[in-house]
Amino acid sequence: MNPCKPLVLFALLFVAPAFADTIAIIGTGDVAKALGPEFAAQGHTIIYGSRNPGGDKAQDLVKISGKDASAVSPQEAVIDADIVVLAVPGLLVGEIVKGLGDLSDKIIIDPTNPLERRILTFHHAVETSNAQIIQAIAPDAYVVKAFNTLNWRTMIDPDATGGPISIPLAGDSRRAKKVVAKLVEGMGLEAIDVGGIENAHWVEGMLMLWINNRFSLRESFDFHLRKVE
């Protein structure tokens, strides 16, 4: 772990943030567990949206996500949220977003990858991406593709990789990308703006090589991006 990170976390916990958002995190799996406590440490209020908000998984997350954290249904979680994180299975994200209700004017962070662990096919061979599908379902929201190019362990301990880690952000709203970049930087990661939402297709496609090797006889590897100074 970066020796500076405890200091950063201390500052974030005890120095009032310039702004504090309410962040709904839909899902209570590995990515939710990585991002929720990190965003809480930056002074934001976290609401988990879970199919079982009273269950141990959701309640254990609430306990480590700041004093104002809570868990409710996905539909309830988004109502007062400024930012919505879709930490859900990639192939279900369209259906899940349709069930969330009105997402107008909210920033949606999309960390999903359009694959199912046991299926070795990338589901959007050409043209589209999960981020574009979400943007089409919620046209008045500001979708930002982020966090899908690294595993959850690296999200919370980037220095274990031996240097800074960059997070590509794809989306049509510069303002939304700036807000997400601030969250990224608060975690000790670096943000890179890779352009409009159409580029989410390529950012999502990065996982294809990984999944091909991971589930074949070829060698497996991990990957992440590092900005060139």
> Which residues of the chain form contacts with ligand NAP (CB under 6 A)?
27-32, 50-52, 58, 87-90, 92, 96, 111-113, 147-148, 151-152
Rounded least distance, CB 17 to ligand NAP, Å: 25
Decide whether 17 or 29 has the Cβ nearer to ligand NAP: 29
State the minimum distance, in angstroms, from the CB of residue 52 to ligand NAP: 6
Rg over CA atoms, the chain: 17
Q: Give 105's strand partners.
A: none
Nearer to ligand NAP (CB atom), residue 71 or residue 181: 71
Q: How many Cβ atoms sit within 10 Å of the Cβ of residue 201?
A: 20
DSSP class of residue 198 equals G
* Alpha-carbon span 109 to 142, nearest angstrom: 8
> Cα(170)–Cα(168) distance, rounded to whole angstroms?
7
**Cβ of residue 26: shortest distance to ligand NAP, in angstroms?**
7
Cβ-closest position to ligand NAP: 29
CB of 115 to ligand NAP, least distance (A): 7
Shortest distance, position 3 Cβ to ligand NAP, whole Å: 25
For 198, the token pair is 């159409």
Identify whether the C-beta of residue 162 lies closer than 8 Å to the C-beta of residue 222.
Answer: no
Side-chain half-sphere exposure of 128, counting CA atoms within 13 A? 11
- In terms of CB distance, is 75 or 151 closer to ligand NAP? 151
Closer of 43 and 108 to ligand NAP (Cβ): 108
